[in-house]
Each structure stands twice: as C-alpha cells, then as structure tokens.
Structure 1
Amino acid sequence: MLMALRKAHVVADPVWFWQRIVSPHMAGLAEALARRGQQVSYVAEQPMSTDRAAQGWRAPRLGAATLHFAPDRDAVTALVAKAPEDSIHICQGLRGNGLVGFAQQALARRGLSQWVVMETVDDSGWRGAFKRLEYRRLIRQSRPWLAGLLATGDATPGWLVRCGMPSEKVFPFAYFLPERWEENVRQLDSGAPFRFLFVGQFIDRKRVDLLFDALARLGDTSFELALVGFGPLEGRLRMLGEQKLPGRVRWQGQCHIDKVPPRMAKADCLVLPSHHDGWGAVVCEALMVGTPVVCSDRCGAATAVRASGCGGVFPAGEAKALAGLLQEAMAKGRQLPAQRKALAGWARRSFGASAGASYLEAILQHAPRQGPRPVPPWQDTDLTHAEWIEA
C-alpha cells in the first residue's frame, strides 16, 4: 500500500498552506510535497511566535516551497486574490486561528477548494460541552465550502463525525516530520540505569507529577528519569521529584528543538503523561530515533504508539496503569540496536514528511472521486513494525 501511495503523485493543482507560524510540524510536509514536484505556497502570519521561540523552536526552511508572510488582513486579501482558480488550500483549524480564519472567509468567497487540519480538541469538563456545541455550529456553517478535514489525533476523526462532518470527508492525519535523525539511532550503554525521558513544558496539563507518582510505585529498581524542558511549575516539580524519587531525577533544562532527538536517542522510553495533547510531536520524534513511547490516551499521538507495537497507552490520570506500563517496559529490557533501527525505520516510513506528502497527494486525488480512499501510512498492513523487526 505504501508503494501505491508513493506512485499516486498525480496532483497537479497548486497547494497552499495557511498557518499562523512557520511550524516545524507542518513545514516538513510542505517541503516534501514541493520536493515531489508539486507547486507549493506556504503562508504564515510571522516566522515564529514568542512563546514557541522561548521553547527552543525556530522557523525551518521550506526548500522549493514558496514562503509568504501575511501579517495583516490587507496582505491576506492580496494573497487570496493571487491564488489560481485550481489551487487547493490547507488551513489551520476552524477557530482560534487568527488571520487564517479571515483567509478562510476570503477563500470561500472565491469558491476555492479548502481543507482544514485539526488536532484533538480537549472537551473534558463543563467547558467541553460548550466546545462540542461550538464545533457543531462551525462545521454546519463551513460544510458548503469545506472539501474535507485532515483529522490529526487518535480520537479526532470520530469526534468530528459526531460533530456533524460527513465521514467521507474526514481523513485521519498526523504531523509528519523531516527524516533527518537517522544518525541519532544508537546503542545504549548496557550498564547504565534504565532511562525514562520526559520532553515538554512544565505545566499542569503535561502531568509530570503523575509520572513521579507512577515511577515511585516501582520501588527500588534500577532506573532514572531525565526531564528536558522548562515552565512555571519547575520549582514545585523539583521539590516533588526529590520527595518522590530522591536521587533519580536528572534535570536537563531547556533544549533547542534540533538538539532534542539526540537526547531521545539516549533514552530507553519516552513518557508523555499529558491530560491533553492535540498531537504530541515528541512521540513521533522519539519513535523516529528508535525509542519506544508510553503516553496517555488523551494524547493525539496515541495512535502512533498503538501502531508501533512498542511502549503502550494508558488511561489519562491513572498512575497505577501508567506504573504498570513503565514496569513492563523495564521488564522487557533495553532494546537491541537492531530493534531500535527497526522501530526508527518503521516510524520514518509512517510519520516522515515523505510519507505524509504521498498520503496527502492520495487524499487530494481521492477527494474528487479519482481514486480509492487512501490508508494512513501508519495503518498500512504492508508496513508493520513486526515486519521490520523480522527483517
């Protein structure tokens, strides 16, 4: 099936991406699509937001794709006017998307083909009921001009269908990342403690406290926990970590986005215990350097963990269930170099930018009834992690 996606490569209409920033999690897809000979434009309000820059992000290069900045409505209006009649537009979200929302209105007035990329929505608590009502309204309102939804996240496709989007217009999607980390796949020191790793912000929804609680349940075993990141809860978490896991927590500080994969390659298991993550790009980053992942079922990238056959997914907020998966990871032992290479190879072929470009082309080919409904690369029965292990 993957070969079928690669051979699709027939979409000739210009493709435009509309994003708030030049995101490392979307730019790779645009660059890979342009590398395949597609005419690609990428429109952003600004190169990078202040908060993302503080987290170590930087605007990536777009290769052969054309970059436009549209910092105000006049610039958006001018670019929409320049877009060819046969152009296809892939926009960020349906709400809370800044000038992208204004662009969507202008594109609709011109009758140009529009797709929307959406992450998992946190609809927990009393606010969740209002979000569901709002998205039902937005989907009903946008159905006349919306060609389809690229549903990024484990539960997102079903959630959008329940909100009123026809199932034939909803396609499971992901954040597809550049395949640039092959050199980071390495053999770990067999004598070192089993290393769990967390990468992210120290904020409430990431639930680092839950990770401390779960690891404390493992008792006196040979492991350590490394944490890469920063945030407002760092002081409190440092005290909690020393209380729960004395001497076992390694605080590695803030890290530039390009320096994260080598840190991941030195870990035995990445853990993302979030109460909510629309996707959780660190999951695929870890898999692409051969590191298994454990995450909560409220992370959009749980779909990647399940498909990988490594690590596991636990019910969000349940420390006992998380502890069970961490114990299981330790019991299986440190992965052999061949296993790490196999996992990394499968992940790159499932969530790499090239695979994403092939899949997106197949979706756009299918939409006007020009081809079969494509299967997401990570669900492709011809490309399983088990087959890579056996190879």
Structure 2
Amino acid sequence: MQFLFWQNMLSIHQSALISALADDHKVLLVAEHTMDADRIGTGWSVPDMGKALVIISPSEEEADKILDDYRDAVHVFSGINAYPLIYRQFKRACKQGCFILNYLETYKYLGFSGRLRCLKYTLLRLRYGRYIKGILATGNTAVQAYQAAGYHKDRIFDWGYFTEIPVTECHNFSGKNKEVSSLPDIVYVGRLDHRKRILSLVQTLKKMTGFFNKLYVIGSGPLKNELNALINSENFRSNGELSIEYCGTMENKQVQSFIANCDILVLPSVYDGWGAVVNEALIQGTPVVCSEDCGASTLLKDKWRGETFSWKKKTTCTMFSKSNCFMGKCVMSCASVSIHGHSIIFPEKKPPHILLKL
C-alpha cells in the first residue's frame, strides 16, 4: 500500500506515525518547507522520517506530477484550506477521485466566534465532504468539533499526534526528587503566549504555596519578559529560594531529561490542537495536569496518567490543589511500566490498523 502525506512543514508530531508506516509500505511526504524559524527557536529539530521519501518545497508543476503519479495512494492532508500547497493539491485530489484522509486539529465551536468557525467547517464539508473518506481528529475535543460541523461520526476517527520513545534513558520514577523535597516538582514546556495561559498558571500556583516544591518553565515567546517580571514582582520564594524558575529554551534531549526528573508536567492552554509534550511526559512516566481544551487531554482517561481541569470554572485553583497528582496519589512505579504500552498507539512500530483498513 502507498501513502502520500501533504504537510506545511516536516511535523515532529507525525514522524513516528510516518516512519512506522514506511517500515512496511511505500510512503512519500511532501512539505511546503522544512521547518519555520519560530519552531527552531523553541528547540525543535528536523525529525527523522525513517524510510519515507521526503520532498521539500516542490513547484506547482512538480506537486501536480507527484499527485498524478501517486493517484492510487492514500492521501493524508494536514488541514484542508490552511496552507496554499496543501489546499491546491487537496482540490486536485478531490477532482481525481483519490482516497483522501484529513488530519485535523480541534477548533473552538462554542460562543459567537465559535459558531463562525463551525460555519466555516460546515461550508467546507458541504463543498468537499463527499470526497473525504475519513477525518483523523486530534483528540476527543476535535471529534466533537467536527461532529458539530455535520461530519458523520463514522467518518471521524479519534486520532492524535504520536512521538518517538526518547533516546535518553528514563530515570527511577518512584524516587523523583524525594531526597530533596516531599513536595512535587512541576515543569511547563511550551511557547510563552496568551494561548498557553502561562501567566495564569504562575498566578494560580502563587496561591498554592505548600502544594509544590518548584515550577520550572521551559520555552520562549512574546510573554518572556512579562513572565520574568511577574515572577520577580510577586517574589515567588520558599525558604529564601525562588519557587518558580524560568529556564529558557533547551534542546529536545535536555527537555526530555528535565521532564523525566520532574514529578508533574502541566499544560494549561486555553486551546491546543494537541500538545505533544503530554505524550513525551507520559512516555517518561511523568503524570500530567492538563487543560480539558487540549487535544492530548484524551490521553488522561486513566487517573494514574494524570488529570484534566477547566479554566471555565472559578474553582480552578481548588481543582489544582486537590488533584491526585499534587496529593501524591499517582502511582509512579505503575506509570513507568504501563504508560509505554498506551501513550503511543503503535508500541512496537506497527502502524495504526485504521489507516490500513479504510
């Protein structure tokens, strides 16, 4: 079987899936560009796509020939009309009757602006829905969003983004930092912007003195200076030491080691199409406290993996403090053994069955 992936850039969130498929099938990946400077600036590196053939920045004529040559392949498009090259080839694939899957992230469909977004996807469904064989929706929130736009539930698959098992060795999960403090060390990894709610996270944790030892913030973004000012102005100190530390950006291997050494990863986004850092934490055996508005929250159905919370509720701070993760009830030794079989959908590099059966 042949697979043709159309992406705006080489996605580290799809590399594990693509390389797994390429072990047993012919896989071609076409991307508009390798990776944007913003991603590289936050510590991303170009992913290894395994045995897949990768083509970067083809001309329109080259892209047309690729589609014609692979007309009988399974075409997997990242989005529908978000990127020029992908949208152009998506429309051509529809006209040629190709087998089409769309890899789609969630969108907020509630409220006035949400209804407008829902209308947009409803119009796309009316125009192209009959050509789409399946929607690979990133998490349960995305499943609900595309059902709201009228896509039939049988065409929507509860999907996600998948990450490789890190090269770095996992640490002794049952003894993380306990020689230093009985309170949990927390880590946040991501962009410092309003969508990620990093400032709200810091302000919330300020009210939770006595529930955690230290918060480490890894990443960069437009709120970097404001974050540092907030930390300093609020005087986040415990026994004379800062209880919140900004660590800047790091290479991915360093980030993985940091996650493995901390007790909890927090992802407080008000919206996140997925949140691959959740995968990375679970692989390391580190439980996660995650906003329900992140696609990856679907991975936290088992309590020993972590918990979700909602920014919509006024009791967010109370929910944080009463979380099983903060109360020390997540069984770390259990997580370190069990998560490896569940946080990746193909634990032995076997591609997801649904791609082969559609």
**Shared fold per TM-score greater than 0.5:** yes
> 2:326 aligned to 330, 341, 349, which one?
330
Name the residue aligned to 1:235.
Answer: 225
- Contact persistence 1:15–1:89 (CA under 8 A): yes
The answer on 1:364 being equivalent to 2:352 is no
**2:309 alignment partner in structure 1:** 314
Q: Which runs of 5+ in 1 are unaligned?
A: 1-12, 368-391
Q: Does 1:140 align with 2:155?
A: no
Instruction: Report the 3-state secondary structure (helix = DSSP H, G, I; strand = E; otherwise coil) of the residue aligned with 1:358.
Output: coil
SS at match of 1:20: strand
Counterpart of 2:7 in structure 1 is 19
State the AA in 2 paired with 1:206: K
Deviation sequence 1:178-228 (CA, Å, 0-9, x none): 123461233423122320111111100111122123212223455111000
Distance 1:216 1:365, change over 3 A: same
Could you tell me which residue of structure 2 aligns to residue 205 of structure 1? Answer: 195
The equivalent of 1:279 in structure 2 is 274
Opposite residue 297 of structure 2, the aligned amino acid is A
Q: Secondary structure at the match of 2:126?
A: helix
Corresponding letter in the other structure for 2:222: P
1:100-119 equivalent positions in 2, closer than 5 A: 100-119=86-105
Q: 2:168 & 2:220 partners in 1: Cα distance?
A: 27
Structure 1 position 65 matched with structure 2 position 52 = yes
Q: In structure 2, which of residues 209, 214, 217 is the aligned counterpart of residue 224 of structure 1?
A: 214
Alpha-carbon contact 1:116-1:150 (below 8 Å) kept: yes
Measure how far apart 1:95 and its partner are.
2.5
Q: Structure 1 residues 307, 174: closer, same or farther in 2, change over 3 A?
A: farther
What are the within-5 Å matches in structure 2 for residues 1-391 of structure 1? 13-35=1-23, 37-83=24-70, 85-123=71-109, 125-181=111-167, 183-186=169-172, 187-193=175-181, 194-221=184-211, 223-242=213-232, 243=234, 245-246=236-237, 247-307=242-302, 309-318=304-313, 320-328=315-323, 329-332=325-328, 336=332, 338-346=333-341, 349-351=342-344, 354=347, 357-359=350-352, 362-367=353-358
Q: Which has the higher strand share?
A: 2
**Could you tell me whether the CA contact under 8 Å between 1:57 and 1:257 is conserved in 2?**
yes
Residue ranges of structure 2 left out of the alignment (5+ in a row): none
Deviation at residue 142 of structure 1 after TM alignment: 1.1
Change (3 A) 1:222 1:46: closer
In the aligned structure 2, how far is the partner of 1:126 from the partner of 1:244? 39
Deviation at 1:308, TM superposition (A): 5.6
Distance 1:107 1:63 in 2: 26
Contact 1:31–1:63 under 8 Å retained in 2:
yes
**Matches of 2:103 and 2:256 in 1, distance apart?**
25
Structure 2 match to 1:8: none
CA contact (8 A) 1:314 1:322 kept: no
Cα distance change of structure 1 residues 219 and 249 upon mapping to structure 2, 3 Å threshold: closer
Deviates more, 1:250-259 or 1:128-137: 250-259
Query: In 1, distance between residues paired with 2:120 and 2:94?
Result: 20
> How far apart, CA to CA, are the structure 2 residues paired with 1:258 and 1:168?
39
1:190–1:334 Cα contact (<8 Å) kept: no
TM-align CA RMSD: 2.2
Give the conservation status (yes or no) of the 8 Å contact 1:264–1:286: yes
Closer/same/farther in 2, CA of residues 281 and 92 from structure 1, 3 Å limit: same
| Contact map agreement 1:199 1:227 (CA 8 A) in 2 | yes
CA contact (8 A) 2:17 2:351 kept: no
- Identity in percent: 27
SS at match of 1:197: strand
More helix by share: 1
Query: Is the 8 Å Cα contact of residues 92 and 117 (structure 1) preserved in structure 2?
Result: yes
Equivalence for 1:9: none
Q: Higher relative CO (CA 8 A, sep ≥ 6), structure 1 or 2?
A: 1
Gap change, CA 1:127 and 1:161, over 3 Å in 2: same
| Offset from partner CA, 1:7-46 (integer Å, 9 cap, x none) | xxxxxx20111111111111221101112x1111111111
SS of the residue 1:45 aligns to: strand
Counterpart CA distance in 2 for 1:154 and 1:177 is 18
Q: TM-score, normalised by structure 2?
A: 0.90
User: SS of the counterpart of 1:175?
Assistant: coil
Q: Report if the CA contact (8 A) 1:178-1:352 is conserved.
A: no
